[in-house]
Amino acid sequence: MKGKGSRGMPKKAMMRPGDMVNTGAKKRMMARDFQQKKEWVRVAKLEDDLAAKGSTKAVEAGRAPGGMGPTGFQEGSKYIWSLVRGEGYYGEDGEEEAKVFATDGACRACKFPLTRGVWSGAQAGCDEQTLTCPACGTRYSLESGEPLDFLPGDNPVHWLAKVANEKNGPQRLAVLPTRVSKSGAVYVRLPENTIID
């Protein structure tokens, strides 16, 4: 069996540090997902809604399933997402392509709307783009949604938010995949089986 690859053995075909990802296959799978899945929803126009880096916008996309209530069937509530324009990247043609992040509409720590959040790009101390809640000071990674600085309490307003909300503990921010078309349309991929109006 020496030199014959993994032969389907469990945990033998996993990537190891330093292995290369087949970017061509990944790009084809992402394009196929965009074309075939109904969960991709157009939510904004880049030039009109998110013109500058750090700009934010609240969008409504998808809704929760309904259920029986005391007076009969009731529709589910609509989901609110916060779009944040981040630092772009350079594509194959040398043009800068815009990067847009879609996150929860409200901070997980204090429930303040994240459309007022403060964006910061990759810096010397942190190589991730982040979004900071102005009410409680919690700083989230826009790539993963992980809280990087949970309720810092570094000024009186943040300290008060810390006292009121620290019992909840840190929670991950929901981050959805996004896509920006060449015409500037922003698409968000909603979670599987989300009801789309």
Residue labelled with tokens 């920006």:
180
pLDDT tens across 26-61, in order? 777 777 777 777 788 999 998 888 888 889 999 999
Which pLDDT score, from 0 to 100, does residue 130 have?
A: 92
3-class secondary structure, 66: coil
Mean pLDDT of 55-74: 87
The helices-and-strands tally (H runs, E runs) of the chain is 3, 13
Q: Is residue 84 very low, low, confident or very high in pLDDT (cuts 50, 70, 90)?
A: very high
Share of the chain above pLDDT 70, in %: 85
Distance CA(191)–CA(176), nearest Å, equals 8
Which pLDDT score, from 0 to 100, does residue 139 have?
A: 92
166 CA to centre of own chain:
23
Distance CA(19)–CA(159), nearest Å, equals 45
Whether 8 has a pLDDT exceeding 60, the answer reads: no
Whether 93 has a pLDDT exceeding 60, the answer reads: yes
Right CATH for 26-64+75-189 from 2.60.40.10, 2.102.10.10, 3.30.470.20, 3.40.50.2000: 2.102.10.10
Q: Is residue 140 very low, low, confident or very high in pLDDT (cuts 50, 70, 90)?
A: very high
Mean pLDDT of 134-150: 92
Q: Is residue 70 very low, low, confident or very high in pLDDT (cuts 50, 70, 90)?
A: confident
Whether 100 has a pLDDT exceeding 60, the answer reads: yes
Rounded to two decimals, what is the model's pTM?
0.76
